Amino acid sequence: CAGLGDLEAVGPLLDRLVKLRSGPAVKARKAAVYRERGWREDAAAQIADAAAGADDPAERAAYVTRAGELAWERGERENALRHFEEAVRLDPDRREARAGQGRALAALGRTAEALSAYRVALAKQPLPRYALELGELYESLGRERDAGAQYALLRELVRKAAAHGVDGDLVLGRLEADHGDAGAAVRRLRAEYRQRPSAAVADALGWALHRDGEHEEALRYAVRATEGEQGGGVRSALHVFHRGMIERALERYGPARRHLGESLRINPYFSPLRVPEARAALARLGDPSVAAGPESS
């Protein structure tokens, strides 16, 4: 994930690279830059061109998977699923596509198939973020024991990865904030943010602070994660949801209503656990009262 610095510096370098070579890999890199700037349609066009120009099935599967992820971020569950299924057809070992299938199938209400897709993704290469997603899907279904098993697996995977020098503090911090010790999550994510500041870490730290009761400081990080001029050009439904919930805790009801609604417009299916929370929070906030005057910002 790109840092919170100015992404404009990437442009000249990318332009020089394109002049030297214009193959699928360059188009895929352009897609990544466009996504970070929030230019979703341009990113989708570039990754589609990259996939069309790739000769190797595994390479093409990687680009098709990325196209599916872009579609998923926009809430296009059927389109995302088509991409993920195509990627799996091209490369059955493409674990990112298997996990993507799990997300899209869950959003379509095809729960048994979603669980199966996640299990395959974890069997092929167990990654902590897939364990977190599967655990939260189980939790949304009321299967607390199965969810707990996935959260325990996540902790074990992070521990093993750390022994090989792989950092898993971001995903572990996210787990602790929502399903463990929020204070421990804050400490872990503060250290992570000092070392690797990014929109994703700013969001996770802000949410952990909120869960730990530090709403004012939480909002500062949530703003960093969602304001384009500070590097959060990607409109993440989860990040915007977090900001809305933090604003609600601070009784900033106008911005809270606006951001919670935006999260559902970006992707109405972004999380099996958080989407119902967003809808319930919006229902409790209700429509702004005409008598109350303009909403505060």
pLDDT tens for each residue of the chain, 297 residues long:
445 545 555 566 666 555 446 688 888 888 788 777 777 788 888 888 888 888 889 999 999 999 999 999 999 999 999 999 999 999 999 999 999 999 999 999 999 999 999 999 999 778 999 999 999 999 999 999 999 999 999 999 999 999 988 889 999 999 999 999 999 999 999 999 999 999 999 999 999 999 999 999 999 999 999 986 554 567 899 999 999 999 999 999 999 999 999 999 999 999 999 999 999 999 999 866 433 333 444
Residue 31 falls inside a structural domain: yes
Residue 115 falls inside a structural domain: no
Rounded distance between C-alpha atoms, residue 117 and residue 102, angstroms = 5
Rounded distance between C-alpha atoms, residue 189 and residue 212, angstroms = 13
Please answer whether residues 244 and 258 qualify as being in contact, where contact means their C-beta atoms are separated by less than 8 angstroms.
yes
Please answer whether residues 110 and 84 qualify as being in contact, where contact means their C-beta atoms are separated by less than 8 angstroms.
no
Q: Which of 72, 102, 132 is the last residue of a domain?
A: 102
- Nearest one of 267, 289, 292, 253 to 281, comparing CA atoms: 253
Residue 139 falls inside a structural domain: no
Residue 154 falls inside a structural domain: no
Length of the chain equals 297
Per-residue pLDDT at 125: 79
Are 185 and 272 contained in the same domain? yes
Residue 284 falls inside a structural domain: yes
Q: What is the domain extent for residue 286?
A: 180-290
CATH of the domain at 24: 1.25.40.10
Report the largest interatomic distance among the alpha carbons of the chain, rounded to a whole angstrom: 63
Residue 122 falls inside a structural domain: no
Model-level pTM? 0.86
Q: Which of 53, 78, 102 is the last residue of a domain?
A: 102
Are 98 and 187 contained in the same domain? no
Residue 210 falls inside a structural domain: yes
Q: Which of 102, 126, 145 is the last residue of a domain?
A: 102
Residue 165 falls inside a structural domain: no
Rounded distance between C-alpha atoms, residue 38 and residue 230, angstroms = 12
- Nearest one of 292, 229, 280 to 256, comparing CA atoms: 280
**Domain count within the chain:** 2
